[in-house]
Amino acid sequence: MMSTQQNRPVFMYILGIVIIAGVALFALFTAADRAFLDRYSLDATVEKKEYVPPGVTTSTQLVGGRTQAVPVATDERYVLHLVNGKTRVAACVNKARYTATSEGDTVNITCRRRRISGKVDIVSVN
């Protein structure tokens, strides 16, 4: 009598190895792109202000063996759209910073640029 292990096609083992290798490569790429980045400061101009009110969104979750759409409350957000040269970024700020800032104002931001993707991450708005 043949065991179940011998009946499985080799393709499934190879596919599993390829999937695991792909996930590992993506994790290495992300770590190399984001790890130990230098922070720097620069001045940026407030291009636009945006207020996102609180609301409700849904998330699909497994509840009692069935998938259900579960409501999830979202907080309000105060967003400043900033521009420095050709670089455009958005930063969430507190309400005090949002109300104290007008469109066209110059703010100092602390940010870091990723190595491989070149994306700019805002650390803080000063």
Note the pLDDT tens digit of each residue in 4-49: 556 567 888 899 999 999 999 999 988 888 788 888 888 999 999 9
Q: What percent of the chain has pLDDT over 90?
A: 52
Q: Is 125 exposed, middle or buried (0-12, 13-18, 19+ CB in 10 A)?
A: buried
Q: Model confidence at 55, in pLDDT bands (50, 70, 90)?
A: very high
Reported confidence tier of residue 87, pLDDT bands at 50, 70, 90:
confident
Distance CA 124, CA 107 (A): 11
pLDDT > 70 fraction of the chain, expressed in percent and rounded = 94
